[in-house]
Amino acid sequence: MSSYYNVTNVNYIGESMPGNDLTIDFKRPSDREPNGLRNVQVERSYTPYAEGSVLIKMGNTHVLCNASVLDKVPPFLKGQGKGWVTAEYGMLPRSTHTRTDREAARGKQSGRTQEIQRLIGRSLRAIIDLEKLGERTIHLDCDVIQADGGTRCASITGAWIALADAVSHLLKTGQIPENPLKDRVAAISVGMYKGYPVLDLDYEEDSSCDADMNVVMTGSGQFVEVQGTAEGHAFSRQELDSLLMLAEKGIAGLLRVQQDAWPV
């Protein structure tokens, strides 16, 4: 494994996740199998200044995740001897098919942006011991360079690697005595598309699916968050179960990507 400041590239060629009986006459726009992940590429130490920096690509969705170590905590944690992990999320103006104004130019963040960055922060805090972090904050900035569906899921998966690099920096410089990371965390989207459960939706599928769900899980198989919504057609309990099973298998693939990029 390369050292902290060396770039590590990991490529994961999307494949069908084992264990799903989905041999059906059904075509996705991308020609992937219903249970197929997009190709995943991870590049560590993408920028030279942040304590942790990762560029993650899931198909045509590309997100830069930077982790910064700050020697301060929010006011509600001062004097308690523990740290904090938080996140910000944003999309570059031309990360989508048409230009979108920067939220800074509008003077406020959208509700969607606020929801996503809170999700990223919650997901990361679920797998770190804040007391072992000490009175400091690790701030994750997730910037979407190119969007083709699943940006929040790519942000969470990439942010964990950036967080792990930042923690490694703290350990190597003697700022903390032991590793506060308790587990990995990754996220994937699933949905009902033309009546079939599919994994890792791209924009075309996401914008026309009957139901979609974002699932966040730890490396030990625990759920951190499940966000599911019907888009015109309600879904059954059986369909819900099939989507969760599909998400578990997809996240297993992403955890392998994290393991290759950052073995712990």
| C-alpha–C-alpha distance, residues 108 and 119, integer Å | 19
| C-alpha–C-alpha distance, residues 44 and 56, integer Å | 9
What are the Cα distances from residue 28, in Å, to 22, 117, 208, 241?
13, 30, 12, 21
Report yes or no: 47 and 145 within 8 Å, Cβ to Cβ: no
Of the candidates 165, 144, 152, 223, the one whose C-alpha atom is nearest the C-alpha of residue 3 is 165
Report yes or no: 154 and 214 within 8 Å, Cβ to Cβ: no
Of the candidates 222, 233, 193, 249, the one whose C-alpha atom is nearest the C-alpha of residue 20 is 249
| C-alpha–C-alpha distance, residues 43 and 103, integer Å | 27
Question: Cβ contacts of residue 177 below 8 Å, gap of 6+?
Answer: none
Residue 159: in which H helix or E strand, if any?
Answer: helix 151-172
In terms of Cβ atoms closer than 10 Å to its own Cβ (0-12, 13-18, 19+), residue 78 is exposed
Whether 136 has a binding-site annotation, put simply, is no
Whether 79 has a binding-site annotation, put simply, is no
Residue 183, CA atoms < 13 Å, CB-side half-sphere? 16
Whether 152 has a binding-site annotation, put simply, is yes
Of the candidates 154, 151, 158, 135, the one whose C-alpha atom is nearest the C-alpha of residue 47 is 158
Whether 151 has a binding-site annotation, put simply, is yes
Binding residues: 112, 150-152
Binding residues for phosphate: 112, 150-152
